[in-house]
Amino acid sequence: MIWHCGRFDFDTSTPIIMGILNMTPDSFSDGGQFADPAAALEHALAMVGEGAAIIDVGGESTRPGSDPVDPEEEWGRIGEVIAALAERELCVSVDTRHAEVAARALAAGASVVNDVSGFRDPAMVEVVRKSGCGCVVMHMAGEPKTMQENPVYEDVVAEVRDYLRDRAAELEAAGIHRSRLCLDPGPGFGKTPRQTIELIRNLHELVHLGYPVMVAASRKSYVGYAYHIDDPKERDVASAAEALLACELGASVVRTHNVALTAAALRDLRPAVLLGLGSNVALVAEPGEETEAKIAQINLAVGSLCSLPDTDIIDMAPFYESEPAYYTDQDSFVNTVVLLRCGLPPKELLAHLHGIENSLGRVRSIENGPRTLDIDILDYQMYVASDDELTLPHPRVAERDFVVKPLLDILPGWELADGTPVASVPESERVGKARRL
C-alpha cells in the first residue's frame, strides 16, 4: 500500500526508515546532543545519506516521567531545522502532541505529524484534517509523566490493536483519508518491558488492520530488558535486530536513532511468500468428521513448513470451507493462506512443497481434481516469472474466492508482485465460493 504524506508517497512494500532527530535537552538517550540547529541539521543530512527517507524532528521529550514543554519553547527548538530540511526537499516529520506546533511545522514544510498522544486533541485533528500530511497514530496509556505507573492490561495485544483500530476509524470519520494513517503500537509508552515484548512479537495482529505499521523500538527500555543492555546508547545493534524482526512480521516504517546500522540489518529482510493450502480428501475420518480431518491434514502440512530451511511462518489465515472450482464433481474443500518469510528461491521452495504434498498422499490423476493436500505459491514478493514449471504470481489468485478471502484476512489491500490487487475481481465473479469456518 502507499502511505500518502503531503507531497511524498511511500511504497510500504519495502521498509521506510525514519531517522530520529531529538532537539531536546532531556531525551533518554541523546538529550542535548543535537540542541544546536547547525549540529542538528548536519546530523539529519548524515542520516539521509545513510538511508533515512524521513527525518522525525522532536522538541519535547516524552520519556517516562518527563514534564510537558510549552509549545512556544518547543517550536523555538525545532522550527529553524524543520524549515531548513523542507527547503532541501526532504520529507520532514514533526514529533509533537501540540496542535500549535504541528500547524507551524506543516506551514514550514513538514509532511508528517507524529503524535504520541494518538491525536486525542480535537485541535490537532483539525490541523491535520486541513493538511494532506501523513499521520502517525500512536498508542500511549496515560501521559508521559505517569504512563509507567503500574500499567495493566488483560490482553495487551488485543487492547492496543483495538485502540488503534478505533482511533483510526475516528480519524477517518473526521475526514482524514486512511491512506494517510500509519499505526504505532507505542513500545514502552504505558507498557512494561514484558508487555512491550508480547506486543512487538505479535505485530502481525496490527497488520491485519490494513494500515502501515511503525516499529519504534530504537534504544527503548524493553530492548535493554530483553538483551540485558543497561546503557541506551549501547542498544543500537539490538534495536536494529528488533527492527528486522518487526519488518518480517509486517512493519513497514522503522523509526531509529542509528540509520546506518538499521539499514544494514534490513538488507537481511527475506521476501514475503504467500501459500494457498487446500484439502478435500480426508484419508482417515469418521462419518461427520470429514471437515475436521481435512483441517488436520492442512495442519500437518503447516507443521512440515516449519522445518523448511531459512523459512519462518509469520501468519496464517482462518480456515474456510469452499465449493469446488473448475472440476465441480467432488467434495467441498477446506482452505487457508499462510504467510512466510523465506530465503529459498521460488523453484527450490516449490520442490519442497511438492515433497510435503506427496508425503500426505497427494494424487494428481485429474486436473483440479480431488486431493488430500494442495499447496500453491500464490505470490513471492518482488518476483514475477512464467515458464513451464512455475508462474508467479499465481495466475488465478484474484478469481478464487477461497484464496482472496483468507488472504485479505491477514493482508488487507495486498497487491501481488505484478501490481494486481488481490481484490481486483468482484466477489460475485469469483469461483470456489468460500465461507469462514
d(CA 246, CA 202) in angstroms, rounded, equals 9
Grid coordinates representing 78 are: 525545532
Q: Which segments of the chain have a pLDDT < 70?
A: 26-32, 63-66, 142, 144-149
Please compute, for residue 29, the number of CA atoms within 13 A of its CA located in the half-sphere on the CB side.
21
Identify the CA nearest to 81 among candidates 104, 111, 57, 107.
57
Identify the CA nearest to 247 among candidates 222, 260, 265.
265
Predicted local confidence at residue 285, as pLDDT? 72
- Helix pair 37-50, 71-87: axis angle to 10 deg: 50
Predicted local confidence at residue 66, as pLDDT? 61
Predicted local confidence at residue 65, as pLDDT? 63
Q: What is the pTM of this model?
A: 0.92
d(CA 158, CA 423) in angstroms, rounded, equals 27
d(CA 342, CA 73) in angstroms, rounded, equals 49
Question: What region does 380 belong to: left with phi over 0, alpha with psi -120 to 50, or beta?
Answer: beta
The answer to whether 220 is a known catalytic residue is yes
- Helix pair 156-173, 193-200: axis angle to 10 deg: 70
Residues in the chain: 437
Predicted local confidence at residue 69, as pLDDT? 84
Predicted local confidence at residue 282, as pLDDT? 85
Topology match between the domains 2-266 and 272-436: no
CATH code assigned to 272-436:
3.30.70.560
Identify the CA nearest to 99 among candidates 78, 117, 82, 81.
117
CATH code assigned to 2-266:
3.20.20.20
The one catalytic residue among 255, 294, 341, 430: 255
Residue ranges of domains in the chain: 2-266, 272-436
Average pLDDT score over the chain: 93
Grid coordinates representing 138 are: 500512536
The one catalytic residue among 63, 219, 220, 405: 220
